[in-house]
Structure 1
Amino acid sequence: MGRRNRHNEPKSGGNRQAKIAARAAEREELSVDPRPFVGFAGECDMVAMREFVPSATGRLTTVADGRDVTIATVLPGAIAGLVRDEELGGEAFVGLQVQVHGPDVAADLAYAVEWATRAGHGETLSAAHPDASTPALGDVVVADAPLEIEVHNDFSWWVAESVEVRPEIEQAIRNANEVMMPSARVSAEGIEAAWWVDAGEKAHIRWVRPEDEEALFEALARVHSAGALDLGEGSRFAGSFRTHGLLVPVFDLDPEMHHQEWADGLKALDARLVEALANEAPLTSEERSSRDGLRARQVTLR
């Protein structure tokens, strides 16, 4: 019997299947709206809560019955949703920072909200699994309802008041608290989604802006070229990052100053940016140079 020619043997389909799966995942990601929360009154804050705010909650109102569902930065175990026992109020929660997620953040959230409206008391949802039958987020949640956010100093809100906490839950809360950096949302008229964080040696403000990315980037370049891209004394523009179709300028700050002391600086810079956004003239050579320098310091989260 002749020797088998190994070159003619069928190759394993593992690599081929993996490549097909990777291409399918890439196509699915490209088909997703880069701004998952566009059209929502709280878009910028929802992006902040999804990406970097440690502990905060808000209320979403469902379209079907006007029921409130609490949206949270993260739930215990980074699960997608939970409903408290009836004797503890029966409050429904959905999480944004989850352990398991798909390419479409809005679809994941829509699935979790729908689940929360149907789930029984005491149930949990480990992960969202949206499919073609999952409605759009705007069909599940009232888009133009203001998102009233409560910022928490720790994760004790994971447990309802007057509940005796089990040792393992108490330890989980303690662990979460230990890695949490103090954060706050700066409150100022006309300013949204400006989030302060104390990172130790420095403090920062990460400011999620709603404008078109390219238009805002040019406005930042114009203001930077004029030497006015800061929040006042004790602040410095550190760079920017892109996430969920939005641009987030970041500022290094004097850590000794209270977060609300930056409110006036935010309003002043906002006015300069609005003016720059309205400027339709081509960028000058100095402004183009500023733009190139700013772009070199830009990163993309997702």
Structure 2
Amino acid sequence: MNPRQPCPCGSGKRYKACHGSAGGVVDVPVARPFEGLAGECELIALREFVPSGTAVLPGAGADEITLATVLPMAAAGLVRADGVKFVGLQVQTRSNDISRDLARAVLWARDAEPGDVLAVVGPDTDAGENPERLQDLIDATAPLEPVVHADFTWWMPEGSEPTGEVALSLERANGAILPTERIGPAAYWVDAGEKAHLRWVRPEPEEQLLAALSRLHAAGELALGEGSRYAGSFRAHGLLVPVWDLDRELHAREWTDGATALGERLDAALASVESTPLTPAERRARDGLLGRQITIR
């Protein structure tokens, strides 16, 4: 690979200054680890910005396994005293593929017993030479149905009280949580303090989505209504996540209709850009939107 070209990991650095440097990581991270899963957008949201959420993994095995944003002490997996099995999503990865690490945790959870904890997961936990990915272990065609929680009390079985390190971890986690509500598929309202935001993980290819957003922006139709404005977007695990600033004086539910209407306008714009090129004004709008993008893994 040309050392002056951008590194394929998506860091934004040149290859020679990133994975091509002396001592650089040998394996390039998988840019889109959840590709092929019907729940890809929800997985990205739960991984990147939903503070407290859970979702049952469809078809994960004979015993139900629940995906969780954060577990006590940032564990990769645990089994509660009542037998409920969890796999953590917001954990440090030890390989180049988040999907493979999640599969490792799911396989661990299948055989784990109440009280067991998986602190970290990575290649050293593999039982065989060809580790599976999450796409191999669950029903890839089934949607993911996240449940957003106001705090982390779901860490504990109903009626039990946390003690020791778990109690301290629970207190810290509850103190840092940002109020969050799901107002549509992969669309989350977040109260960040001074203002609220809508963060919406979109499944479309980036170029197509940007063209549609630009068409709406040029027509003055990119907001959710009064008290909202398009703020920019970030890339996460191969998909684009547009963000809107919202008036935090309005409750999350008051933005649901605006988000639904925006989604309909966006669907129409996506259909139109497939057959109709952008106008000069829309291309200028796209240039402006491109200047408000960042990338996170």
- TM-score range relative to shorter protein: 0.7 to 0.9
Q: Which of 78, 90, 110 is the equivalent residue of 2:74?
A: 78
Establish whether residue 149 from structure 1 lines up as the match of residue 146 from structure 2: yes
Cα distance in 2 between the residues matched to 1:62 and 1:129: 23
Cα distance in 1 between the residues matched to 2:231 and 2:180: 18
AA in 2 matched with 1:40: L
Query: Which stretch has the larger CA shift, 160-169 or 219-228?
Result: 160-169
Q: Which of 271, 285, 289 is the equivalent residue of 1:294?
A: 289
Counterpart of 2:11 in structure 1 is: none
Cα distance in 2 between the residues matched to 1:141 and 1:301: 26
AA in 2 matched with 1:192: P
Counterpart of 2:135 in structure 1 is: 138
Cα distance in 1 between the residues matched to 2:285 and 2:21: 41
**Aligned pairs for 1:1-302 within 5 A:** 19-22=21-24, 24-25=26-27, 28-29=28-29, 32=30, 34-63=31-60, 65-85=61-81, 88=82, 90-130=83-123, 132-186=129-183, 191-279=184-272, 280-302=275-297
Cα distance in 2 between the residues matched to 1:213 and 1:114: 33
The root-mean-square deviation of aligned C-alpha atoms, in Å, is: 1.7
Residue correspondences, number = 272
- 1:80/1:167 Cα in 2 relative to 1: closer, same or farther (>3 Å)? closer
Q: Deviations over 1:248-286 (max 9, x none)?
A: 110111101111111111111111111111122221111
Cα distance in 2 between the residues matched to 1:156 and 1:101: 28
Secondary structure of the residue that 2:33 maps to in structure 1? coil
Q: CA deviation at 1:19?
A: 4.4
Q: CA deviation at 1:109?
A: 0.7
Cα distance in 2 between the residues matched to 1:136 and 1:157: 27
Instruction: After the TM superposition, list the runs of 4 or more consecutive aligned residues in structure 1 that deviate by more than 3 angstroms.
Output: 18-21
Cα distance in 2 between the residues matched to 1:20 and 1:134: 28
Cα distance in 1 between the residues matched to 2:176 and 2:224: 28
Determine which structure has more spread, i.e. the larger CA radius of gyration. 1
Counterpart of 1:5 in structure 2 is: none
- 1:168/1:66 Cα in 2 relative to 1: closer, same or farther (>3 Å)? closer
Secondary structure of the residue that 1:237 maps to in structure 2? strand
* Contact 2:93–2:122 (CA under 8 A) maintained in structure 1: no
Secondary structure of the residue that 2:190 maps to in structure 1? strand
Cα distance in 1 between the residues matched to 2:157 and 2:264: 42
Q: Deviations over 1:16-38 (max 9, x none)?
A: xx94541513xx32xx2x22222
Q: Deviations over 1:61-98 (max 9, x none)?
A: 345x443101000111111101123xx2x111000100
- 1:135/1:100 Cα in 2 relative to 1: closer, same or farther (>3 Å)? closer
Cα distance in 1 between the residues matched to 2:255 and 2:157: 34
Cα distance in 2 between the residues matched to 1:294 and 1:19: 32
Q: CA deviation at 1:121?
A: 2.5
Q: Deviations over 1:152-197 (max 9, x none)?
A: 11111111122232143222211111111111101xxxx4111011
What TM-score does the superposition give when structure 1 sets the normalisation length? 0.85
Cα distance in 1 between the residues matched to 2:242 and 2:161: 43
Cα distance in 2 between the residues matched to 1:58 and 1:23: 32
AA in 2 matched with 1:293: G
Counterpart of 1:11 in structure 2 is: none
Q: CA deviation at 1:45?
A: 1.0
* Contact 2:99–2:135 (CA under 8 A) maintained in structure 1: no
Q: CA deviation at 1:101?
A: 3.6
What TM-score does the superposition give when structure 2 sets the normalisation length? 0.87
Cα distance in 1 between the residues matched to 2:21 and 2:240: 32
* Contact 1:75–1:158 (CA under 8 A) maintained in structure 2: yes
